Amino acid sequence: MPKPMRMEEKIKYFMQVTDAPWSVAVRKLQKHGGNLSKALEDLHNHIHITIHMPGGGCLRCIFVKSDNLQDVYGYLWQLGLGEYASESYRLVSASFPIHMISVNGETQFPGRCYSIEDGWLTLDELGLGNGGDLYLEKKK
């Protein structure tokens, strides 16, 4: 009988097969209790989300439509950016593709705002089923 793969081996294999970053591999395997085949199957429904940071710069990440907003906040925690995954910040998605950001970092376009309290809504329910951009901004 073959020896079961250790979690580190599953992560490495997942990354090789999908070309996904380490954080995505870990998140997908954790979501499916370490089941590699389910984690790989889940990735076939992947979408690309870009998170624009308050100080400039952005993070590009891969999620699936059924992931929820809590998974996005969890991704920030995994990267050591937990201060943004708090009640002090919100995520804003644009209503149309023209994005304008003012110098002080506040969004200047119509959009929908989400907070950590909306964490159980799926990305598809939030209108991000085809991927998109989210802007992190400090609540006033």
Residue 29 sits at φ, ψ, to 5 deg, of -65, -40
Per-residue pLDDT, 108: 56
> What share of the chain has pLDDT > 70, as a percent?
86
43 against 54, higher pLDDT? 54
**CA dihedral sign of residues 92, 98, 103, 108:** negative
Helices (H), 44-112: 69-78
pLDDT digits (tens, 9 = 90+) for 58-117: 999 888 888 889 999 888 988 888 888 888 888 888 754 444 555 455 555 557 888 888
- Fold entry, domain 46-138: Ubiquitin-like (UB roll) (3.10.20)
- Which pLDDT tens digit goes with each residue over 3-32? 788 999 999 999 898 888 888 889 889 989
What are the two backbone dihedrals, phi and then psi, of residue 31, each rounded to the nearest 5 degrees? -60, -35
Reported pTM: 0.62
Buried b vs exposed e over 80-111: b needs ≥16 C-beta within 10 Å?
Answer: ebeebbeeebbbbbbeeeeeeeeeeeebeeeb
Going from N- to C-terminal start, the domains of the chain cover: 1-44, 46-138
Identify the band that residue 52 occupies on the pLDDT scale cut at 50, 70 and 90: very high
Looking at residue 96, its pLDDT comes to: 47
Q: What is the structure's pLDDT at 109?
A: 55
The pLDDT score that the predictor gives to residue 100 is: 53
Q: Which of 91, 86, 87, 27 is nearest to 58 (CA)?
A: 91
